[in-house]
Structure 1
Amino acid sequence: MSQLRDTASSLPPGLLASVADLREMELARAGGADIIDLKQPAFGALGAWSPEALTAAVMLWNAWGEQLGEAARPALSATAGDQPMVPALIRAAAERVAETGVPIVKVGLFHSKHTNECIEALAPLASRARLIGVLFADQEPDFAVVGALGRAGFAGVMIDTADKRAGSLTEHLDPLTLGQFVAEARRHGLITGLAGSLRLGDIPSLTGVGADYLGFRGALCEGGRTGALDPMRLGQVYARLREPTDHSRP
């Protein structure tokens, strides 16, 4: 399970669970997460763990591989933080995460006239680590960027929301638009993910979009995204993701 799925997969979307510490890592693994995403929600949309904490997380993840076997452990990703769209700075932040041994690095591509320059600056790292570009639904994302990510060697692309107070992903982009995003990403060989204050009730409509993963934080926590991960809520999301799609449900 620690490998990202093939873009041609017809499986229901996998579960990406964002976690804030090692304890939540263990809870997410026990709860069936397909990708455990290391993120500090108190520090922004893509708040980063410290290098020391990332190193400890990689040690735990490697121990899972020894205990469970490579195929049984979830994949591991980490965010590079909410960085300014300055090529040298965004590459340095991504490099810091990759140097800890985290195999999948998520990089936020905030609205900027320098987006393509930042992608080009990340291309050398994309040959050594699996990079995921993150676009933001509340910043009028330009899907033309998807082709640039594919050409730069990125492994995948996600859509998230930058301002968590401004509504969920589904309040900014409809399923038809999200389906177009997924199709464009697959045309360029990219893994796809959807996130952004997603709720349990969003799952049925988003399952039909065809993304490889759906990402959750607030829906998994007691008290919202900065609260503690709740195994019961995680179990509810896990179960709903594996139900047959029924658009009549709330």
Structure 2
Amino acid sequence: MSETPPGLLASVADLHEMELARAGGADIVDLKQPAFGALGAWSQDALTAAVMLWNAWGVQLGEHTRPALSATAGDQPMVPALIRAAAERVAEAGVPIVKVGLFASKHTNECIEALAPLAGRARVIGVLFADEAPDFGILAALGRAGFAGVMIDTADKKAGPLTAHLDPLTLGQFVAEARRHGLITGLAGSLRLEDIPALIGVGADYLGFRGALCEGGRTGTLDPMRLGQVYARLREPTDSSRA
């Protein structure tokens, strides 16, 4: 397994937090409204403004040194037409990475198929939920539909962190299976500073944070000092890299 640390995905609620996340070293700035659910969506006007700011970063910093930009499509019912429309709305605003929640449902595969046309034009990330007994069997379907990647998050933010639901061995199996289908991987879900060392060993491409970055929890405001602590912990040398 590579000793490169996972990238830092920082979820932000407004343009000011976008700037703080960029300055704090986030690899992906993720547009999410935590007050509106696990994957609460920004408004269309706010998404457009965020893309304008992100494009300005490209001019200032260069295309390859600015962080990537993602946005959630909201907590949508697992109805193919609705979930596709929500994801299309995010992509139409110019956001290059669209995160779509795949909640437990007998219609999950239909929703994945409905997103395949968009996955041919944008980078679509499917989000599974650790507290809903996720079926890793759908990773093959995500790969076939052209998804760029897959994350595991938590749906109920009061039910504890990701690590309370899935152990590192299971998460490692998820990462390995996702990679087998050509998918990049991310882990999120009320992650805390103390969760980072064990999760680094899982080998996911990204770890995602919101509450750990904020004063007052996930619906609070992003705190540069807390972001700095997470950034530093992600880059601490592991036992294997000290050897």
Q: TM-score by structure 1 length?
A: 0.95
- Which letter does structure 2 place at the counterpart of 1:120? E
| 1:25 aligned onto 2:8 | no
Native 8 Å contact 1:45 1:162 kept in 2: yes
Native 8 Å contact 1:168 1:198 kept in 2: yes
- Which letter does structure 1 place at the counterpart of 2:233? R
Map 1:196-207 → 2, pairs under 5 A? 196-207=189-200
SS at match of 2:136: coil
Distance 1:234 1:39 in 2: 16
The structural deviation recorded for 1:88 is: 0.3
SS at match of 2:225: helix
Distance 1:244 1:125 in 2: 39
From the superposition, tell whether residues 22 and 170 of structure 1 become closer, same or farther in structure 2 (CA, over 3 Å).
Answer: same
Q: Which residue of 2 aligns with 1:225?
A: 218
What does the per-residue CA deviation read over 1:29-75, in whole Å, with 9 as the maximum and x for residues that have no partner?
00000000000000000000001000000000000000100111000
Map 1:113-132 → 2, pairs under 5 A? 113-132=106-125
Q: Which residue of 1 aligns with 2:101?
A: 108
Q: Which residue of 1 aligns with 2:161?
A: 168
How big is the alpha-carbon RMSD for the aligned residues of Structure 1 and Structure 2?
1.1
- Which letter does structure 2 place at the counterpart of 1:165? K
- Which letter does structure 2 place at the counterpart of 1:186? R
The structural deviation recorded for 1:10 is: 5.0
Native 8 Å contact 1:196 1:216 kept in 2: yes
SS at match of 2:238: coil
What does the per-residue CA deviation read over 1:191-240, in whole Å, with 9 as the maximum and x for residues that have no partner?
00000000000000000000000000000000100000000000000000
The structural deviation recorded for 1:246 is: 5.0
From the superposition, tell whether residues 9 and 119 of structure 1 become closer, same or farther in structure 2 (CA, over 3 Å).
Answer: farther
Native 8 Å contact 1:204 1:246 kept in 2: no
- Which letter does structure 2 place at the counterpart of 1:211? A
Distance 2:129 2:25 in 1: 26
The structural deviation recorded for 1:131 is: 0.1
SS at match of 1:72: coil
Native 8 Å contact 1:80 1:97 kept in 2: yes
| 1:47 aligned onto 2:20 | no
Q: Which runs of 5+ in 2 are unaligned?
A: none
- Which letter does structure 1 place at the counterpart of 2:83? I
| 1:243 aligned onto 2:205 | no
Q: Which residue of 2 aligns with 1:95?
A: 88
From the superposition, tell whether residues 189 and 61 of structure 1 become closer, same or farther in structure 2 (CA, over 3 Å).
Answer: same
The structural deviation recorded for 1:19 is: 0.1
- Which letter does structure 2 place at the counterpart of 1:63? A
The structural deviation recorded for 1:9 is: 6.3
The structural deviation recorded for 1:11 is: 1.8
Distance 1:187 1:128 in 2: 22
What does the per-residue CA deviation read over 1:158-209, in whole Å, with 9 as the maximum and x for residues that have no partner?
0000000011100000000000000000000100000000000000000000
Distance 2:238 2:178 in 1: 23
Query: Deviation above 3 Å: which 4+ runs of structure 1?
Result: none
Distance 1:125 1:44 in 2: 23
Native 8 Å contact 2:2 2:203 kept in 1: no
The structural deviation recorded for 1:245 is: 2.2
Native 8 Å contact 1:88 1:121 kept in 2: yes
Native 8 Å contact 1:98 1:129 kept in 2: yes
SS at match of 1:107: strand
- Which letter does structure 2 place at the counterpart of 1:117? E
- The correspondence for 1:189, drawn from 175, 179, 182, is 182
Native 8 Å contact 2:130 2:152 kept in 1: yes
Q: Which residue of 1 aligns with 2:61?
A: 68
